[in-house]
Structure 1
Amino acid sequence: MPDLLALLLAAVLLAATLAAAAADSPRLPPAAVAVPGALLLVLLGAVSWQDTADTVREVAPTVAFLVVVLLLAELADREGLFTWSAALTARQAGSSATRLLTRVTVLAAVVTAVLSLDATVVLLTPVVVATALRMRVPVRPHGYAVGHLANSASLLLPVSNLTNLLAVAATGLSFVHFAGLMVLPQLATVALEYLVLRWLFRRDLRGVVDVPVHEVPGTPVLALVVVGATVLGFGVASLVGVAPVWPAAAGVLVLGVRQLATRRTTLREQLVAANLPFGLFVVGLAVLVLVLQLHGLETLLHAVLPDGSGLLALLAVAGISALLANLVNNLPATLALVPVAAAGGVPTVLAMLIGVNLGPNLTYAGSLANLLWRRVLGEHAPGTARFSAVGLATVPLTVIAATTALWAALLV
């Protein structure tokens, strides 16, 4: 198939896949577009069966881990972890909406880092919104904090974001080494998000909370122990060359068996929580992006991304990555950028991650997490222009600060 025709067809199929993801309709899941689209391109000769099989093998461990972590987060939620943590956060805030924002920011950053941004968006967001309504404080600042931190607090660990999982293999870094390099960017980003959101919504945060929270449900000890042990297991597993899916699977086994035994959940409900169709969507998306790469995109990105590990080069990589994430969504952007960034070494890959993780706070189209967040918020969701206006106040600052922090960490 001619390069131009293959490029155009893959681009159309990618756009259709992302449109299906944005619509989030059970009648047409994105996997129902991505997988047949990928097969069509293979049958038409736009990509070989061998290249397709190699790509599927490369992303399969990442997809398996994603499925297991989604299930772990759902099981932890059924144990009451998110309800308890939100109630504890609200009680600590007392009668101050500003203190509530502070604690919601910290909570969202921790949940995102440990259980991934999907857990923050799908499980934590509704609890935070319900808490704000219960306390009779404005939802906007706290809703934005959760939404923004779902993207921007996902720098710390390889497991925090699917984009990290897709890129970490290209760095050759262990779990601990990755976290060590990204801790400064993470701290700088979270601090700036909090300060900017606090300033933007200063009017909403004035006054005293009408209905402070005094009661907190019982501590979900088992969920806390399992999640903590799982995160510790990620670090240990990376040191001995074991895939992170196994510590996560152990956590799922403990909580899943307990809940099945007590009839708090069923196997069917656990399969639904694992979201297998989303895993198929990622596989199909990887093949679509592969076709784009083979027929011109990779050459273009090699020409655009600068070489070197100096501050200006890293800022350029992060900026270009953020722009691409908002143009085509950060998941396909990551799939396209990883092979090119890997040629520049660890600094380039990590700068690319800063761009694709923080950049999506600029537009709803920037990440699937944004689209899920908007759906979860419902009537409280901001309009497109309002969302981008707030993003314009945070994204440039956080991208620059995080990249500068990364550059400093690399010098140590």
Structure 2
Amino acid sequence: MRTAIVGAVLLVLGAVAVLTGLLPAADALALWDRVWPILLFVVAVTVVTELAAEAGVFTIVAQQTARWGRGRAWLLWLLVAVVAVLSTIFLSLDTTAVLLTPVVIVLARHAGLDPLPFALTTVWIANTGSLLLPVSNLTNLLAQHAMGDPSPIAFAALMWAPALVGIVVPLVVVFVISRKRLLVRYVTGQEDGIEDPVLFWVSAAVVVALMPLLVSGIPVWMPASGAALVLLVVFAVRRRSVLRFGLLPWQLVLLASGLFLFIEALHANGLGTLLARVSGSGESPLALLRLSVTGMVGANAIDNLPAYLALEPAAGSPVRLAALLIGVNAGPLITPWASLATLLWHQRLTSFDVRIRWGRYMLLGLIVAPVTVILATLALAATA
């Protein structure tokens, strides 16, 4: 509810800016024309993943992963990391943070393992693993537009090296700090069956079909909306009780809308000029590092989405936009509010009675975030 309140306040402030002329109405309309497909995609893909979770798709994936782990905790953790990477890349970071986190907690507990290494893996990969494709993160969709709408393949060609670094570095850190808990053996608990085979197989087929469509070059809101519509119809026939307003990420949409409008109003009144001085210019390795680190600091100070929006005009080129994405995607691992996915992840941990002290989380983030951002930026400079 706090998310919705903040979003509503920002929307009101943005509306006041439009009414008073601080933000020209034409600029506000141009902003809406840019962001409505992104917001529609967020709604649609959230509905798809929530309904797929209700059908048991992610639980069955977790159970199969446990079998593939062959009783070795390190192998199970590595397989969970692979699932988290695929989930983040193709279904967005929020899917990993919100839906995969409960699955891996239950999986670890059934195997008699400490769930914290698995939970930490999901939240770090949800953020740092969201660099490869436009659909992986809301900031990527914004950057794709600013880059001139390159295809998903062209976007990935620019981002593959920093994306690889963003996956490998956090996983190495998790393994090093959790090695005593991962170098053990486990025995799987009793597995859950498929409650409704029709819902399960239709949902699984929709998710599998959606993944290649999201990288096909079609505007992502189209296949996501189609997939959501198919699942809504099937659930309306098979399990109508699941269809509730809570399926819609209305608080996230309200917050994003408010941030879009508020930051646009600030840009219309000189914010861009100030940030251009801070973030510098040019595409040398040092210039890209300056921009990505600025993005990381901004994300941990105020949240990654407004940090991206504030710095986007100062980027100016595809390579610099890529550097900015590294900062705001791989960097928000320090403060709890740096990424909405982190806050959603922590809510899931609390609901499953898994405790992690924010002090410890921030200390670990102070280690892994700068290393990841710096190495990923250097990888970008070497391959762009």
Q: TM-score, normalised by structure 1?
A: 0.86
Cα offsets for 1:27-47 (capped at 9, x unmatched) = x64333222232233334432
CA distance in 2, matches of 1:191, 1:217: 34
Question: CA RMSD, aligned part only?
Answer: 2.0
Q: One-letter code of the match for 1:329?
A: D
Q: CA deviation at 1:207?
A: 2.9
Q: CA deviation at 1:215?
A: 4.5
CA distance in 1, matches of 2:111, 2:381: 42
CA distance in 2, matches of 1:276, 1:153: 24
Match of 2:111 in 1: 135
User: Is 2:333 the counterpart of 1:361?
Assistant: yes
Match of 1:205 in 2: 182
Match of 2:257 in 1: 283
Show the 5 A alignment for 1:99-248: 99-172=75-148, 173-209=150-186, 211-213=187-189, 215=191, 217=193, 220-236=200-216, 238=217, 242-248=218-224
CA distance in 2, matches of 1:151, 1:170: 21
Match of 2:33 in 1: 57
Structure 2: stretches of 5+ with no match in the other structure: none
Asked if 2 retains the 8 angstrom alpha-carbon contact of 1:91 and 1:216, the reply is no
Match of 1:319 in 2: 293
CA distance in 2, matches of 1:190, 1:142: 15
Q: CA deviation at 1:204?
A: 2.3
Match of 2:343 in 1: 371
Asked if 2 retains the 8 angstrom alpha-carbon contact of 1:94 and 1:213, the reply is no
Q: One-letter code of the match for 2:74?
A: T
Asked if 1 retains the 8 angstrom alpha-carbon contact of 2:90 and 2:214, the reply is no
Q: CA deviation at 1:334?
A: 1.2
CA distance in 2, matches of 1:112, 1:293: 30
CA distance in 1, matches of 2:300, 2:241: 38
Number of corresponding residues: 377
Report the identity percentage: 36
Asked if 1 retains the 8 angstrom alpha-carbon contact of 2:8 and 2:258, the reply is no
Asked if 1 retains the 8 angstrom alpha-carbon contact of 2:110 and 2:190, the reply is no
CA distance in 1, matches of 2:57, 2:291: 38
Match of 2:308 in 1: 334
SS in 2 for 1:136: coil
CA distance in 2, matches of 1:189, 1:263: 39
Q: CA deviation at 1:281?
A: 2.4
Match of 2:377 in 1: 403
Q: CA deviation at 1:401?
A: 2.2
Match of 1:350 in 2: 322
Q: 1:214 to 1:88 in 2, by over 3 A?
A: farther
Cα offsets for 1:43-87 (capped at 9, x unmatched) = 344323332222222211211111111111112212212111111
Asked if 2 retains the 8 angstrom alpha-carbon contact of 1:91 and 1:213, the reply is no
Match of 2:11 in 1: 35
Cα offsets for 1:159-211 (capped at 9, x unmatched) = 011111111101122111112222222222212211111001122224322x3
CA distance in 2, matches of 1:356, 1:381: 26
CA distance in 2, matches of 1:307, 1:41: 30
Asked if 2 retains the 8 angstrom alpha-carbon contact of 1:94 and 1:212, the reply is no
Match of 1:13 in 2: none
Asked if 2 retains the 8 angstrom alpha-carbon contact of 1:88 and 1:216, the reply is no
Q: CA deviation at 1:214?
A: 7.2
Q: CA deviation at 1:404?
A: 2.3
CA distance in 1, matches of 2:255, 2:152: 26
Q: 1:393 to 1:245 in 2, by over 3 A?
A: same
CA distance in 1, matches of 2:254, 2:25: 17
CA distance in 2, matches of 1:123, 1:335: 27
Q: 1:396 to 1:86 in 2, by over 3 A?
A: same
Cα offsets for 1:105-143 (capped at 9, x unmatched) = 111111111111111111110111111122121111111
User: Is 2:40 the counterpart of 1:20?
Assistant: no
User: Is 2:279 the counterpart of 1:302?
Assistant: no
CA distance in 2, matches of 1:273, 1:407: 41
